[in-house]
Structure 1
Amino acid sequence: MDYNMTSFYTFVLLVLFLSSLNLVSSRHRKLSYGGDNGDLVTNLPGQPPVDFQHYAGYVTVNETNGRALFYWFFEAMTKPEEKPLVLWLNGGPGCSSVGYGATQEIGPFLVDTDGKGIKFNNFSWNKEANMLFLESPIGVGFSYSNTTSEYAQLGDDFTGKYVPELAELIIDRNNNSSLHIDLKGILLGNPETSYGEDWLGVVDYAWSHAVISDETYKKIRRSCDFNSSDPWKNEECTQGVNEVLKQYNEIDINDIFNGWTQSKRSVIPIYKKLISVGLRIWLYSGDTDGRVPVLSTRYSLSILDLPITKQWSPWYNEKEVSGWYQEYEGLTFATFRGAGHAVPCFKPSNSLTFFTSFLLGESPPSTR
């Protein structure tokens, strides 16, 4: 299949970690999640040479209404039949998982900064896992419905859920052995905490979807006091924010998501439920992320009232302090030193090391 990728824009990382058994096929068998060898990507313009295969196409989820979701699947670079399957969902709601996830953060082919070509990502997460990027719900990226009235029904229930609600749905449905999915854990980046003290979910705001330059970002961080009652207190701050908003206005994020119909005010009860069944839960944030501050996430985590099993400690990558982490009974929270909102864009090597530890069920590296 010839497939010409273009760049999209999105933020917020959501990852589901599942067992590879019965979910990832070898390259010679039909892919059990819906694609087949007809979805094999054989001619991606400008693609660097690689030894693994990847597939892209549609999974029809409702034949009657013509509802179909677009996916891009990358086999692990080595021994894919032995590696786990990781489902990546970008949040928003309304953002493309192909956009930042696959082509700007952790996929093997990254879009060049000029948007005219692609390059190989030396820190791609498919070094350690089979990676499935899904554009959900309809209206996101290439996902669509032939029944236009469905676009007015979008919400948490209609998608098939975002993490952690999807994790809860899988746990509940696993009571039926015929539907069993061997879910091992969830990994969430930038858990949003702005909806009140009892809210810990994954939601993003408009201006953080924009792709901003380092110069603009530094201008905002330097001149905007986000802790004050009037963060836009000087002209330089206002100019910086306006630059971001201007870029956002040029980005195609569908207005249909302004009418998101179902959304829980708090998912704290879901976290408690997932912890009670022993699901592995890791959260992480860049420590310079102005949209989702580390302290805000820590405050929300305190509401769970979990016993602390390991106090704040540094974790390392390439013999340098990469960030700090704290382990709770049933949950781990980590920071990335010097990283902003889309952590893998800032710290690709560190992110891969962190991801590998998560897959192995080990703490982040605690020695140099």
Structure 2
Amino acid sequence: MVPRNLLKTLVFEAHDDLPPFSLKLGNDTAAVCNSSTPGTAGFIHSDDGNDSEMFFWLFESNNDPATDPVILWMSGGPGASSTTYGGLVELGPCRIAPEGGYTTENPFGWNANASVLFVDQPVSVGFSRGRAIPKGLAEASGLMHQFLRQFFVAFPQLSTQDFYIVGESYGGSWVPALGAAIAKSQAEAEKPDYFVNKQSHLAHNQANGLARTSNINLKGVMIGNGLIRRSVQNSGGFETACSGPDSLFNSSTCLEWAPRAMRCEQHLNVCETEGWTSEMCRKTEKLCRPISSALGVDDDVPFRGVSYEVLNLWEQIGDLWKSSDNYVNYLLEANYRVLIYVGDKDWFCNAASMRRLVNEGLVWHGHPFFRFRELIPWYNGPKPAGRWKSYEPLTYAEVVDAGHLAPFDKPEETLILINSWIQGSLPAR
């Protein structure tokens, strides 16, 4: 039954190796997002055995939606709602007012020069739902790839645009894993037919979330304050707290902590290789502990800003500790553009650890050259906004005075950063 608050429902038959699906659109997102571009919200429901219903919110570019790129934003967690944190808190065209109850226009929304897509994923996050939560990052990435292919079938006018995947925090895993899945499908699509055993190829792709044909024009990925490799990044907390002009603790405290920091790094390596189920890591567990209607959501659909079901499942199977640098390396080797940016006041995914990651933790053909590039300043007008360096497809950038949610802390600077990088360079003075 189509809810009374939906404008329309469109049904799509099976397409290539996609299951049949339907598109249900909401009717009045302007009642939620007070901006010049309120956007299009709705659900894509897949007849895929899991009865998946994925909620999305699309904001077209304010510049030229017919030619401007499309950006997919993925919030972290795992299990955080992208439509809420990305769309209504950080980088959408409107933001929830500080006193709550209504939204105000965001003058630095990322849809200034790109169409921006927010999706609550995986199922059980935000308004998205299904019979079962995907079992880990690989399965979730395959289902998200399926959603994107369905989305571009439903919105064919956007399918030829350059496409970028962006995310923050656990987005350091979401983004490169999804990017690699799409990149592999694009490579498959470019193979001549005589290289493909059709029957075995189809079975392999269905098992791995790949597609023989791809309608996704992926150009690159951006990872902001991303969790990519815990064993490298968590150890950066000591450097952030105890070195440089902004150190947080005095020298005597830091001298006391130094040997503990080294032991911590050794333990983190064990957790990364053996997973959270190892005895050492388990011991630490106890220590670490009318809008819906406008968007086209049925009254009986609950909203989860953060799905602890997803977070707990990822923890149980060990995916919280799995590194995603292999996906980043794959994209770099395939010459997809990669931007890794970080707020220099972030404690969790801190700049010290991100510098260590890009200089030592990523292994790709340009690594020796990238490693020895010097960081140079980039600017917002005459004012220094951060530092950056680049070699071939990889760019690393820091944002001055931004924390873990850089687009929230420094909205103007992050918009300049993203627009400039897409166009090919960062602004000099």
Tell whether the structures are fold-level matches, with TM greater than 0.5.
yes
Structure 1 residues 8-61: Cα deviation after superposition (integer angstroms, max 9, x where no partner): xxxxxxxxxxxxxxxxxxxxxxxxxx886x6254353364352x4611111123
How many residues are paired up?
Answer: 292
- Kindly provide the amino acid, as one letter, of the partner of residue 326 in structure 2: P
- Asked if structure 1 preserves the Cα contact closer than 8 Å seen for 2:338 and 2:394, the reply is yes
2:421 counterpart (355, 358, 364): 358
- Asked if structure 2 preserves the Cα contact closer than 8 Å seen for 1:306 and 1:328, the reply is no
- Asked if structure 1 preserves the Cα contact closer than 8 Å seen for 2:78 and 2:310, the reply is no
| Uncovered stretches (5+) of structure 1, i.e. residues with no partner | 4-33, 201-220, 232-244
Provide the C-alpha distance between the structure 2 equivalents of 1:63 and 1:194, rounded to a whole number of angstroms.
33
Q: CA deviation at 1:329?
A: 3.9
| Uncovered stretches (5+) of structure 2, i.e. residues with no partner | 7-20, 143-173, 191-212, 235-246, 262-288, 290-303
Q: Does 1:39 align with 2:25?
A: yes
- Asked if structure 1 preserves the Cα contact closer than 8 Å seen for 2:91 and 2:110, the reply is yes
Residues 133-142 or 294-303, more deviating = 294-303
Residue of structure 2 equivalent to 1:216 = none
1:176 counterpart (185, 189, 199): 189
Provide the C-alpha distance between the structure 1 equivalents of 2:396 and 2:221, rounded to a whole number of angstroms.
12
Residue of structure 2 equivalent to 1:189 = 224
SS for the counterpart of 1:160 is helix
Residue of structure 1 equivalent to 2:403 = 340
Q: TM-score, normalised by structure 2?
A: 0.62
Structure 1 segment 195-274 matched on structure 2, within 5 A: 195-197=230-232, 228=257, 253-260=307-314, 261=317, 263=319, 265-274=322-331
> If you compute each CA radius of gyration, which structure gives the higher value, 1 or 2?
2
Provide the C-alpha distance between the structure 2 equivalents of 1:88 and 1:268, rounded to a whole number of angstroms.
19
Structure 1 segment 270-349 matched on structure 2, within 5 A: 270-303=327-360, 304=362, 305-308=367-370, 310-349=373-412
Residue of structure 1 equivalent to 2:69 = 84
Provide the C-alpha distance between the structure 1 equivalents of 2:254 and 2:354, rounded to a whole number of angstroms.
16
SS for the counterpart of 2:404 is coil
SS for the counterpart of 1:113 is coil
SS for the counterpart of 1:307 is helix
- Kindly provide the amino acid, as one letter, of the partner of residue 116 in structure 2: M
Structure 1 segment 96-115 matched on structure 2, within 5 A: 96-115=81-100
Q: Is the alpha carbon distance of 1:254 and 1:278 closer, same or farther for their aligned partners in structure 2, counting shifts above 3 Å? A: same
Provide the C-alpha distance between the structure 1 equivalents of 2:359 and 2:135, rounded to a whole number of angstroms.
31
Provide the C-alpha distance between the structure 2 equivalents of 1:140 and 1:102, rounded to a whole number of angstroms.
14
- Kindly provide the amino acid, as one letter, of the partner of residue 363 in structure 1: S
- Asked if structure 1 preserves the Cα contact closer than 8 Å seen for 2:120 and 2:127, the reply is yes
Residues 155-164 or 87-96, more deviating = 155-164
- Asked if structure 2 preserves the Cα contact closer than 8 Å seen for 1:75 and 1:130, the reply is yes
Structure 1 residues 238-290: Cα deviation after superposition (integer angstroms, max 9, x where no partner): xxxxxxx9xxxx97542442121363733333222211211110011100101
Residue of structure 1 equivalent to 2:294 = none
Identity across aligned pairs (percent)? 27
2:175 counterpart (163, 166, 174): 163
Q: CA deviation at 1:318?
A: 2.6
Q: Is the alpha carbon distance of 1:226 and 1:358 closer, same or farther for their aligned partners in structure 2, counting shifts above 3 Å? A: farther
- Kindly provide the amino acid, as one letter, of the partner of residue 114 in structure 1: E
Residue of structure 1 equivalent to 2:55 = 70
Provide the C-alpha distance between the structure 2 equivalents of 1:121 and 1:265, rounded to a whole number of angstroms.
35
Q: CA deviation at 1:192?
A: 1.9
Structure 1 segment 105-144 matched on structure 2, within 5 A: 105-144=90-129
Q: Is the alpha carbon distance of 1:278 and 1:47 closer, same or farther for their aligned partners in structure 2, counting shifts above 3 Å? A: closer
SS for the counterpart of 2:124 is coil
Q: Is the alpha carbon distance of 1:187 and 1:46 closer, same or farther for their aligned partners in structure 2, counting shifts above 3 Å? A: closer
- Asked if structure 1 preserves the Cα contact closer than 8 Å seen for 2:122 and 2:128, the reply is yes
Provide the C-alpha distance between the structure 1 equivalents of 2:383 and 2:389, rounded to a whole number of angstroms.
18
SS for the counterpart of 2:181 is helix
- Asked if structure 2 preserves the Cα contact closer than 8 Å seen for 1:306 and 1:329, the reply is no
Provide the C-alpha distance between the structure 2 equivalents of 1:102 and 1:320, rounded to a whole number of angstroms.
28
- Asked if structure 1 preserves the Cα contact closer than 8 Å seen for 2:25 and 2:42, the reply is yes
SS for the counterpart of 2:135 is coil
Structure 1 residues 191-238: Cα deviation after superposition (integer angstroms, max 9, x where no partner): 2256213x89xxxxxxxxxxxxxxxxxxxx96798994689xxxxxxx
Provide the C-alpha distance between the structure 1 equivalents of 2:124 and 2:254, rounded to a whole number of angstroms.
33
Q: CA deviation at 1:313?
A: 0.4
- Kindly provide the amino acid, as one letter, of the partner of residue 30 in structure 2: L
Q: Is the alpha carbon distance of 1:351 and 1:274 closer, same or farther for their aligned partners in structure 2, counting shifts above 3 Å? A: same
SS for the counterpart of 1:165 is helix
